[in-house]
Amino acid sequence: MAKRRIVNKKKFIRGITILLIGFILIILLLVMMIKGIISLFTKPKDQPNEPTTSQTSNQEEPIPKGNTVTVASTTTPQKTDENDEILSQWNLKLVNKDHSVDRSYVPELAEIDDGIQFDKRAISHLKEMINAMYKADITKIWVQSAYRSYDKQEELFNRKVEEYKKQGKKQEEAENLAQTIVQRPEMSEHNLGLAADFNTVTNEFEETKAFEWLQKNAHNYGFILRYPKDKQDITGITYESWHWRYVGKEHAKVMKEKGYCLEEYINYLKGVQEV
C-alpha cells in the first residue's frame, strides 16, 4: 500500500512539473506576440539617408576638359575624371627619377635646325617663341639640345658618372651625383622631345637678356623653367636656367601665376597640392 502511494506521488509531481513548463512556455509566447504587435504600431519614421562618397563627389566642381585650366579659387581641387583626362595629356607627361618613360615611347619629331629635333605637336610654339625674341632684338638665342634618344641619354649619363669616379667617388655615389645634373635614360625630359636647352647650357644663361625675356614671356607660348633655383628639393635636379619645357599655354600660365614647378602642378591637379 505504501509503495503504491509513492508511485502516485511521483506521478503527481511529474504532472505538476509538466504543467508548469507548459504554462511558462505559453507566457513566453504571449510576451513575444505582444512585443511584436507593439513594434508594428511604434515603428520609427525613416531617417533621411546620409550622402555617400560617390554622391558628394558628384557635387565637386571639375576642372574644364581639354587644355583649358581655370583656377578660380585658392582651395585644393578635388580629384575628378576631368582631372584624369588633363593629367593624361601628352604635354603634361611627368618624367623624373620617380616617373620613367618606356623606351618604346618615341614622339613624332620635326627638325628645328641643324639636326636638332622637337616634338612635332609643340615645335610651332617653340619657333613662335624664338621669333618673338628676335623681334624683341634678342638675337643671341639658339637651341643647343632638344630631343635625345635613349642611347644618347645613356651615353651622357655614363660620361658624367665617370667624371665623378675620377674624383674618387664610388659607383653608387657617382651615379647619384650624376643624376642631379644628367638624368638617366628613360628619366629625362629630353626623351620626350618637349625640352629645349638654350645657348651654352650653363647657368651663365641667366645673365642674358634672353633669360630675362623668357622669365617674363615663356608662359605665353606654353613653356616653363623646368628646374627653378628654389625648387631643387622638389625636382631633384640642380638649377638649370637654360632648360625650358613645353606644357601648353593654359597650364604654363597657371604654373606661372602660382609659382609651381611641374611636380607641384601635377600634385595640384591630383588634389594633393594646396595653393
The pLDDT tens digits for 187-243 are 999 999 999 999 999 999 999 999 999 999 999 999 999 999 999 999 999 999 999
Confidence of residue 22 (pLDDT cuts 50, 70, 90): confident
Q: How far apart are CA 4 and CA 15, in angstroms?
A: 17
Please name the CATH architecture into which domain 62-148+188-270 falls: 2-Layer Sandwich (3.30)
pLDDT of residue 53: 37
Nearest one of 111, 107, 109 to 90, comparing CA atoms: 107
pLDDT of residue 44: 46
Q: Which of 108, 111, 240, 263 is catalytic?
A: 240
pLDDT of residue 20: 77
pTM, entire model: 0.69
The percent of residues in the chain predicted with pLDDT above 90, rounded, is 63
50 is catalytic: no
Domain ranges of the chain: 62-148+188-270, 149-187
Q: How far apart are CA 262 and CA 95, in angstroms?
A: 10
* Helix, strand, coil percent values for the chain (each to nearest 5): 50, 10, 40
pLDDT, tens digit, for every residue of 47-100? Answer: 434 433 333 333 333 333 334 444 434 445 555 567 778 888 999 999 999 999
pLDDT of residue 43: 47
Is-contact 239 54, C-beta < 8 A?
no
Query: Residue 224 gets which letter from DSSP?
Result: E
β-partners of residue 111 are: 117
Give per-residue burial for 134-173: e unless 16+ CB within 10 Å, then b: eeeebeebebebbbbebeebbebbeebbeebbeeebeeee
